[in-house]
Structure 1
Amino acid sequence: MTPRTTRRPLVSVRLGPLAAACLSLAALCAGPAAAAPPAPAAAAANASASGQTANPASRQLLALADAYYQALARFEPIGATENGDNRFDDQLGLSIAPAQRARQFALYRQFAKRLHGIARAKLDERARINYDVLDFELRGLLAMEKFPEHLLPINQMDSVPMMLANYAGGEASQPLTTVKEYEAYLNRLGQLPAWIDQAIANMRQGMRQGVTVPKAIMQSALPQFQKLLSATPEGNIFYTPVNKFPAAFSAAEQQRLGAAYRAMVAERLMPALARLAGFLEQDYLPACRAGTGLGDLPNGQSWYRARVANATTTTLTPEQIHATGLQEVARIQQQFALLGPQLGYTGPAAGLPVWVSQQAKFFPFKTEQEVQAVYHQLDQILDTKLPQLFTLLPKAKLDLRLEPELSRATASDHYTAPAGDGSRPGVFWSVVNDPAKYGNTGMTTLFLHEGKPGHHFHIALMQELNLPDFRKYGGNNAYTEGWALYAETLGKEMGLFNDPEQYFGHLNDELLRATRLVVDTGMHAKGWTREQSIAYMHDTLGYDAVAKSETERYMAWPGQALGYKIGSLKIVQLRQRAQQALGDKFSLPKFHEVVLSDGTLPLSLLEAKVDRWIAAQR
């Protein structure tokens, strides 16, 4: 099975270009784009739902948390969209503008000062968790201020133009089903030329300062931006919504919106996209650095350590993570040695993944509907098994859908969050480009991770817990991906890995996550070259094409891929600690409730919460 990647890290503390739009809350940052504070009635309802109206310190904290989220969402509106909050779908933000970036960090410092002025000791336990999470996030954001992430606005994994292109079909996180939604997307598109011009200016500044992306990943990214060009407006991807008008739209609405979209594409987007593609090919690519890791850049080692801290929410050093990765790779390969004969393989353990990829019996599909049928059957099986392991289940439904043809070639199997207002379910997207090449060995572990009880049980539940918006729509990668990777391991307890083929798929995916620890830290902290990483991944996993694409992913997102395994290992460690301490009193459903019931937490706060629970049970 070909390993997959998540389309985008789901975090409120973004580890991509750390933006900078002026989200000036009127009292804190004067400017023309002041963020509107939440309506008093809504804030009061939020406070009431949290049971905190009687406590002045708690009310003060909730008001600050609401203001902070408004700032984040207006600063990075696409992040809000991706996390299921569609209230800002008409905004793009200009978070890469240096002046706005500076104002934003000033705003973060103001938030931190206000937070530390609240008497934490007067808060109840749940409010203290909100306090601690907000404190952690602000410290993580401010730690990135000295690193010029805004000078690296584009790579092959993450850029604003490509995100907006993914939305054009109306099947992704930004819906296109009503006239208002069409107008919101059109308004967002209207802000793209300014973003493109700012990105070009930033990259020129980066060229002067020696802060550029590696040449290899820009070579991979360039074709994406060239595909955004078109000879006519009607042939442009951003014109796609016009070809998919809902039947409910009147003829007058269709005519008006069609004309507006055509004018936007022809007069503004096509010239801006041509400027960007031309700059990337003619000016930027020749100036990109030959090196591989973030450590090659000015202050790069400190930059990487700050990213590692944000990605893992721990104090682990790159050297410690590298050693953990090597240990995990060795452990999993030992499991391969035991599993291989059960599958009919008698060669060396390291060769098992390649052998599986060459066996026709593990690629049984002829149609995409046959692939979907397996996932639907698995979904039904889990409906009978998961209530035995969980007391806390999300109300939101999980839909199973095929990735639209528009984005199928570049997408990978993934999950998208439900809409915050309940209008859209959570969705597991399976990406089937060629059914005959869709391996069946990893389907169970994939669905446990991307579907349930992985991302869906965590992310959908977050929206039902009466959390402040900054937590409801935010999070961190170590918990988010760590929980989903831990959820994969539950397949063994549910009997889903009794089939050695499916257990191989689980171990194969786990090996990829362990390998990430080695190569990410290898490239960015130990001076490994791109070629060294590809060779290590090929020797360890047996994949050629994936070794290249995965290596380049870690080059573009330093540290991001560390959260999966670090988070999962922590949850497993906490479960083992609780089992040893409580013995017969240990309840796995209750443990899962403790882990999930307060939403996403930094790992240190999760550990403290589990320890409090253990003490209370004893």
Structure 2
Amino acid sequence: MKSTIKQFAIAACMASAIATSAAAETAQQQFQRASDDYLDKVYFPYQPTGGTLSGYHQYDTQLEDFSPKTIAAEVAALKSFEARIAAIPAAGLDQVSRGDRELVLGTIRSELLTLETIRPLEKNPDTYSSSISGSIFSLMERKFASPDERLRSVIAREKLALGRLDEAHTNLKNPPRIYTEIAIEQLPGIVSFFQDDVPQAFADAKDAALKAEFAKSNGAVIAALNSYQNWLKTDVLPHSQGDFRIGADTFQKKLAYDEMVDIPLDKLLEIGWADLKKNQQHFNTLAKELEPNKDPREVLEELGSNHPVPGKLLDAFRATFDSLIGFIRTNHIVTIPSDIRPIVEETPPFMRATTFASMDTPGPFEAHATEAYFNVTLPDPGMTPTQVESFMHAFNIGTVISTAVHEAYPGHYIQFLWVPQAPSRVRKLLGASSNAEGWAHYCEQMMLDQGYGQPGTGAKDEREAKFLRLGQLQDALLRNARFIVGIQMHTGKMSFDEAVEFFQKEGYQSKESALVETKRGTCDATYLYYTLGKLEILKLREDMKKKQGSAFSLEEFHNNFLRQGFPPIKIVREAMLGDGSPVL
């Protein structure tokens, strides 16, 4: 009994000491510890593929777990950390940590909204198959370890993958038909990825026993994916009658949590329509200057037909780099921290249904394999010649330049090169699409406004210069259409077919592009963040000009913007302007 009393006394003393230590911690120290704990105990353990992509290779043998038990545990952990971080007083933090606190809270609340309200695990069959292929691709794309070591991780994840597909049978409940169709459309590419690409990626592995084990695990995944595809076609698709729309309330919350934007949806629609009409007018005026006797739609068709042949598309993108880099440096647009260029390659199979181009950069803590990949989607071999021609209109001479600016110079790739200078671990790992995509989209217009694309700098003559501007405006109209379609579709004011028509009529897109964009919008509800972020950056730039007057420097503005990481623009405004003035 005396021993027990003594143990209680010791425990009480320890608890008192811990409490005293916690009380002695400053708010700054509390937040630092809480944010690190959140990243290390919740954020990455529940999304280990994200850990691999970020450069934390202790997660390489783990795989996302979609079982109800695990999801319930994640929700409980998120709520615990939300309460812990919210209890830390913002007034006791420095400027960076105040922004980081809001960023972490927004990330937690967005994930809770996804798991508890949007519930994609019950609605989206593609979540399961594409997450598996994505997890394996994260071990293939960069050689951060030997082929044998990475192959061991592939085997570990492939063994877990079979259970994840089983979880789909348990979790899926009346998915929207379009979601099931997208999953079925993606699956042949995913199967071929495991049949061809994965074995080829590890052909240099030396351990014969390991390769034999891989042959078994890979064969099992291929069989499971084929079975999953058959199940989706025969059992799930006929009963897929769910609704993909998230509704106005959830849409507004998602904007607040992800982008720190609380502007009412009707006001956002006014902003989106105003920018769309402005860009349409600019496009139509230029089209009349080029072809006075033609309708702007005919000029758009002429622009679209001026594209590389599919087999030369990757080379066309590579060819833009010299002139873009030279212009940026000569005109002091932004500092380029590295001379290493991204690698242009074809988009991985499991991403091709919903994207034309993307930038895939290494994680901020990747120490060994730092290649960046500029992915471009080529026409599907099964397309008819007419479909190929329509598809290639998205890669005309104007949009090739616009896309290269967006994805590489000075868009996503340059922003990635600045990430090491972000002021905290949180800023290196967490961010907002309105910043990242907003920056890239802003760059498309900014570069032409600064003189790129004029004769001698990206264009051979004045006529081609105008076509380049038309390409930039066509891409701007695409993002304008996303802005309006996302809100309208998910609030029940626009059907899928009406959205396809809207992309064609108001967004000046081809039918093939319009279909891809509408599919994406069904599951990426807030993809208005391109135009939203661009407009926020333009306003921030004008506000900085007013504040600094003749001392304003575009290069300094861009550098200071990028060194903040990629948090919501509201946080960047507070850092650069020193106030909480409106983002729009």
TM-score (norm 2): 0.82
How far apart in 1 are the matches of 2:323 and 2:377?
17
Q: Residue 415 of structure 1 aligns with which residue?
A: 359
Amino acid at match of 1:241: V
Query: Within 5 A, what are the aligned runs for 1:44-63?
Result: 56-63=26-33
Secondary structure of 1:398's aligned partner: coil
The CA distance in 1 between the partners of 2:543 and 2:138, in whole Å, is 47
Q: How many residues are treated as equivalent by the alignment? A: 532
1:109 is aligned to 79
Asked if 1:152 corresponds to 2:122, the answer is yes
Equivalent residues of 1:520, 1:562 under 8 A apart: yes
SS state at 1:513 partner: helix
Asked if residue 306 in structure 1 is aligned to residue 253 in structure 2, the reply is yes
Deviations 1:326-372 (A, max 9, x none): 211110111112211444364333554233223x4x44786356424
Q: Would the alpha carbon gap of residues 418 and 218 (structure 1) be closer, same or farther in structure 2, given more than 3 Å must change?
A: same
Provide the C-alpha distance between the structure 2 equivalents of 1:61 and 1:396, rounded to a whole number of angstroms.
36
1:344 equivalent in alignment to 2:291: yes
Aligned to 2:536: 570
2:505 is equivalent to residue 548 of structure 1: no
Paired residue for 1:80?
51
CA offset digits 1:481-530 (Å, max 9, x no partner):
11111122221244213221221111110110001111111111143111
The question of 1:476 aligning with 2:432 is answered: yes
- CA–CA separation in structure 2 for the residues paired with 1:612 and 1:570: 16
State the alpha-carbon separation in 2 of the partners of residues 333 and 439 from structure 1.
Answer: 18
Farther off after superposition, 405-414 or 138-147 = 405-414
Say yes or no: does 1:196 pair with 2:165. Answer: yes
Which of 51, 58, 62 does residue 91 from structure 1 map onto? 62
Residue equivalent to 1:506: 472
| Aligned position for 2:337 | 394
Question: Shift of residue 109 of structure 1?
Answer: 2.1
SS in 1 for 2:342: strand
Match of 1:456 among 401, 413, 418: 413
Q: Which position in structure 1 is the counterpart of 2:12? A: none
CA shift, 1:397, in A, is 3.1
Counterpart of 1:222 (choices 184, 191, 208) is 184
Residue-by-residue CA offset, 1:47-70 (whole Å, 9 max, x unaligned): xxxxxxx98433332221111112
For residue 476 of structure 1, report the CA deviation from its aligned partner.
1.7
> Structure 1 CA distance, aligned partners of 2:580 and 2:79?
36
Long gaps (5+) in structure 1: 1-53, 230-234
Aligned ranges 1:430-441 → 2 under 5 Å: 430-433=376-379, 437=392, 438-441=395-398
- Asked if structure 1 preserves the Cα contact closer than 8 Å seen for 2:114 and 2:120, the reply is no
**Aligned residue in 2 for 1:316:** 263
Q: Report which structure shows greater RCO (CA 8 Å, sep ≥6).
A: 1
Q: Check whether the contact 2:321–2:409 (CA below 8 A) recurs between aligned residues.
A: no
Contact 2:132/2:161, CA 8 A, preserved across alignment: no
Paired with 1:429 and 1:290, the residues of 2 have a C-alpha distance of: 32
Take 2:292 and 2:57, find their aligned partners in 1: how far apart are those partners? 50
**Post-superposition offset of 1:184:** 1.3
Quick one: which amino acid aligns to residue 551 of structure 1?
T
* TM-aligned CA deviation for residue 314 of structure 1: 0.5
Give the whole-Å Cα distance in 2 for the aligned partners of 1:58 and 1:290: 46
**Mapping of residues 119-518 of structure 1, within 5 Å:** 119-144=89-114, 146-152=116-122, 154=124, 159-161=128-130, 164=133, 167-168=136-137, 172=141, 177-203=146-172, 206-207=173-174, 212-213=175-176, 215-226=177-188, 228=190, 237=194, 240-245=197-202, 247=204, 249-250=205-206, 253=207, 255-266=208-219, 268-289=220-241, 293-295=244-246, 300-344=247-291, 346-358=293-305, 360=306, 362-363=307-308, 367-368=312-313, 370-382=315-327, 384-385=329-330, 388-391=332-335, 393-395=336-338, 397-403=340-346, 410=353, 412-419=356-363, 420-422=365-367, 423-433=369-379, 437=392, 438-465=395-422, 467-468=424-425, 470-498=426-454, 499-518=465-484
Between 545-554 and 582-591, the greater mean CA deviation after superposition: 582-591
- Letter of the 2:235 partner, please give it: D
8 Å Cα contact 1:481-1:564 kept in structure 2? yes
Q: Report how far residue 227 of structure 1 moved.
A: 5.2
Q: Does the Cα contact within 8 Å between 2:123 and 2:242 map onto a contact in 1?
A: no
Please tell me the residue identity of whatever aligns with 2:320: Y
- TM, length-normalised to structure 1: 0.77
Distance 1:372 1:61, change over 3 A: same
Unaligned runs of 5+ in 2: 1-23, 381-387, 455-464
Whether the 8 Å CA contact 1:396–1:425 is kept in 2: the answer is no
Cα distance, 1:562 vs. partner? 1.3
Pair 1:338–1:174, CA change in 2 (3 A): farther
Instruction: Name the one with the larger helix percent.
Output: 2
Counterpart contact for 1:98–1:150, Cα < 8 Å: no
Look up the match of 1:43.
none
Q: Distance in 2 between matches of 1:505 and 1:444?
A: 8
Please tell me whether the aligned partners of residues 193 and 349 of structure 2 are also in contact (alpha carbons under 8 angstroms): no
Paired with 1:136 and 1:168, the residues of 2 have a C-alpha distance of: 28
Deviation at 1:137, TM superposition (A): 2.5
The answer as to 2:494 corresponding to 1:525 is no
Describe the superposition over 1:107-147 as per-residue Cα deviations: whole angstroms up to 9, x where unpaired.
Answer: 12221232234343333322333223223323333444541
Per the alignment, in what secondary structure is the counterpart of residue 428 of structure 1?
A: strand
Note if contact 2:140-2:201 (Cα within 8 Å) is conserved in structure 1: no
CA contact (8 A) 2:361 2:372 kept: yes
CA distance 1:343–1:144, change in 2 (3 Å): same
What per-residue deviation string (whole Å, max 9, x for no partner) do you get for residues 262-317 of structure 1?
11133x324432442232112211111275x515xxxx443333334345431123
Q: Determine the structure 2 residue equivalent to 1:34.
A: none
Instruction: Tell me the residue number matched to 2:6.
Output: none
Cα distance in 2 for residues equivalent to 1:174 and 1:140: 33
Deviates more, 1:56-65 or 1:575-584: 56-65
